[in-house]
Amino acid sequence: MKKIFVSFILLIVSTLAQAAIGDWKIYMSYNEPQQIEATGNCLFVRASNSIYLYNKNDQSIQTFDKTTGMSDVVVTHIAWNQQAKRLVVVYDNSNIDLIDLQGNIVNMADLYNKSMTADKTVNSIYNTGEYAYLATNFGGVKLNVAKVEIAESYMLDFGARAIREGSTDLYLYSTNGNVYKCAKTSNPLDKSNWQLTTSWPGISFSEDLTAWNENIELVKTLKPGGPENNNLKNTLWHNGKLYITSGYLSKETTPTICVFDNDEWKSFETETIAEKTGHKFVNAMCLDIDPRDENHVFVGCQTGLYEYRDFAFVKEYNRHNSILQTAQPIEDKAGNSEELKKDYTEVTSLTYDNSGTLWIANSYGKQPTICYMPAGGDIKAFTHQNLMTKGHPFSMALMNGMMIDSRGLLWFTNNNWTMPALVKYDIGNNMTKVYTTLVNQDNTVYEYYNMPAIAEDKEGNIWVGTDVGLFCVTAASVNDNTDNITFTQIKVPRNDGTNFADYLLGGLSIGCIAIDSANRKWIGTSGNGVYLISSDNMEEIHHFTADNSMLISDNVVSISIDEETGNVFFGTDKGLCSYHSDSSKAFDEMTKDNVYAYPNPVEPHYTGLITIVGLSMNSHIHISTASGQLVNTGISNGGTYTWDGRDQKGNRVASGVYNVITATADGKKGTVCKIVIIN
């Protein structure tokens, strides 16, 4: 029988290996070496708060993250325990992993899970024998690395920067600069046994830098992959490539501008720009790609607008050579005036329209303008007094999320507490509407401070995310030119026998929104992870958090979607990760050339979802045996349909060839592809 199946396999169109639906990937930076631990011919390297293992013999590199078994993300300390043959890994939240040379990982979550009011931050690790001493802000912890258990915990009246073991005493260098010792014959759990001392013969509290000094030049040449850093501000998927920028308003950082293309990372020129321009170059906030030339890119920063071609810097635009305005003095929430630093020119959002005009958000300006750069021209501006921040001497302070909708309207938000707002700009009529009052269909008026997210769905509705929840400007009300607009909140029935309903994601702080090919809404939050909401807005399909999934942080700042494959990229405050969703771009026509299934054949060990792609929007799928018996039916998500390989009774189907018969949403015939099941 299996020989017959082989003949069928030869008839199946060959497809590239593809990630399975539900797979996660993590893209950590390894650009900045911080610690090196040597063992034999292997080096464990902590770089950019991530870890990789380098084998000098075969020059192989193995990276570690949550998808390979690590328990957390931000690594603050590592130390090799020679006797136990394990690397002790400590995270920023005091979680602990142990890694051996084969890559096996064991978690020690005791300290992480311990409920205590004291600060559990770990400041250093010291290995001796099979033990590892962790110096913490409450005292110290002694681990038995071989037995994977906590041997002792020292709750003291002072924190520890380092702990060392002498011949007769245990020494502790405290966070207040003093040194304490406890005789080994005494009980170190009793804080009274720790005595202040001025003598620590033969004891050094400094980190052993032997491995670092011997290997740092080699480590500098290694390329484990990943972006330049994990400090993400914005992501943008364009024509098969993911672009990212880094930078936050709270501190000055040299921007990182990268593109992920064919599994490789490439960087834009950044380090030389300040020298070339004679001006500061800090905090990349946004970018967009010229629709006529994808090698022509503009980047908005706190210090101006920057033009690139083929990754090379071309020109800087600021108040010195354009009509862009210098940022004005601002006040904090307490009313204290504070000058913005060093002649900033805040370009906080960018978007191209179909004609090749670049629209530019120049925040904190003295005059309330909407700026734009026609194709091949200079920057120009329209003045609109309603963009002036009420009660302040500057225009909108953080214009954000610029986009051109399907009607040709320009939308953006003001994501700042001084005057949070949604702005609609009719380009043809040069008319702006600024909506500052957040009132829903039940006439509930919300007090809110931030509106960071905006997106248009495939039905023309405008979705906005605020610090008090998710709202929608319906397609029917978009063209309403009154001074106030209703922000609709979707009501989801509780289905508990009552007539009660809850507002969709009501009360959550929304950070970003993206719409997939099936018109489903991906909602990123501040502190609550990511939600996937169905196309009819009634169902929560997924809620991913750092605890229940491979999502690396619950603070999600940006979401970008590759509609061709269904990959969803999440930019977080700890870095970048992606999820392979069950929706992809819908095709206008279903043909044998674009409709196929994977994996195919389905081998006995495979228990995941079988994915069918190349479908039209909301296409009808019927899967049947060779004799015509129906085993599964459903409707596609965009251009994708998934099948668990089971019949309508929930049983795994028998070995054989199964026909996938497709039809368009209006019932017109599509095409047929075949799936081979081998049990």
Three-state secondary structure along 215-264?
A: HHHHHCCCCCCCCCCCCCCEEEEECCEEEEECCECCECCCCCEEEEECCE
- What is the CATH T-level fold of the domain 596-677, as seen in this structure? Immunoglobulin-like (2.60.40)
Reported in sequence order, the residue ranges of 353-452 that DSSP labels E, i.e. its strands, are 358-363, 369-373, 380-383, 399-404, 410-414, 421-426, 431-435, 438-439, 445-446
At the fourth CATH level, the homologous superfamily of domain 231-419 is YVTN repeat-like/Quinoprotein amine dehydrogenase (2.130.10.10)
Task: Report, as an integer, the average pLDDT of 270-279.
Answer: 93
Statement: 437-585 belongs to CATH 2.60.120.10 = no
Task: Report, as an integer, the average pLDDT of 415-433.
Answer: 94
* Cα 558 from Cα 234, distance rounded (Å): 6
**Other residues' Cβ atoms within 10 Å of the Cβ of residue 91:** 19
Please state, for a pLDDT cut of 90, what percent of the chain lies above it.
85
The chain-wide mean pLDDT, for the chain, equals: 92
* Cα 597 from Cα 9, distance rounded (Å): 12
pLDDT in the model for residue 343: 73
Three-state secondary structure along 466-487?
A: ECCEEEEECHHHCCCCCCCCCC
Q: 75 or 390: whose pLDDT is higher? A: 75
Q: 334 or 525: whose pLDDT is higher? A: 525
pLDDT in the model for residue 254: 85
Domain ranges of the chain: 28-220, 231-419, 437-585, 596-677
pLDDT in the model for residue 134: 98
Residue 4 pLDDT more than 70? Answer: no
482 band by pLDDT with thresholds 50, 70 and 90: confident
* Cα 454 from Cα 511, distance rounded (Å): 9
Q: Tell me the CA end-to-end span of the chain in Å, nearest whole number.
A: 11
Q: Do domains 28-220 and 437-585 have the same CATH topology?
A: yes
Residue 126 pLDDT more than 60? Answer: yes
Cis amide prior to 601 (ω within 30 degrees): yes
Reading the block at residue 495, the tokens are 């289905």
Q: Is 420 left (phi over 0), alpha (psi -120 to 50) or beta?
A: beta
Residue recorded with tokens 């202040």? 196
Say which DSSP state 329 is in: P
At residue 67, the 3 state secondary structure works out as: helix
* Cα 561 from Cα 517, distance rounded (Å): 9
Task: Report, as an integer, the average pLDDT of 128-142.
Answer: 97
Residue 529 pLDDT more than 50? Answer: yes
- For the CA atoms of 502, 504, 508, 514, the dihedral, rounded to the nearest 10 degrees, stands at 180
**Claim: this prediction has a pTM higher than 0.95:** no
pLDDT in the model for residue 481: 84
- For the CA atoms of 284, 289, 290, 292, the dihedral, rounded to the nearest 10 degrees, stands at 160
* Cα 203 from Cα 165, distance rounded (Å): 8
Partners of 489 in the β-ladder: none
pLDDT in the model for residue 3: 39
Q: What is the pLDDT of residues 616-656, one digit of tens each?
A: 999 999 999 999 999 999 999 999 999 999 999 999 999 99
Reading the block at residue 220, the tokens are 């500098």
Residue 10 pLDDT more than 50? Answer: no
Residue 363 pLDDT more than 70? Answer: yes
* Cα 356 from Cα 296, distance rounded (Å): 11
- What is the CATH T-level fold of the domain 28-220, as seen in this structure? Methylamine Dehydrogenase; Chain H (2.130.10)
201 band by pLDDT with thresholds 50, 70 and 90: confident
The strand pair at 304-309 and 296-301 is best described as antiparallel
Q: What is the pLDDT of residues 312-343, one digit of tens each?
A: 999 999 999 999 999 886 555 555 555 544 57
Residues 6+ apart with CB under 8 A from 584: 517, 563, 564, 565, 566, 613, 637, 638, 639, 640
DSSP annotation string for 71-110: S-S-EEEEEEETTTTEEEEEETTS-EEEE-TT--EEEE-H
At residue 277, the 3 state secondary structure works out as: helix
Cis amide prior to 374 (ω within 30 degrees): no
pLDDT in the model for residue 628: 93
pLDDT in the model for residue 11: 36
Residue 17 pLDDT more than 60? Answer: no
* Cα 519 from Cα 570, distance rounded (Å): 18
pLDDT in the model for residue 333: 52
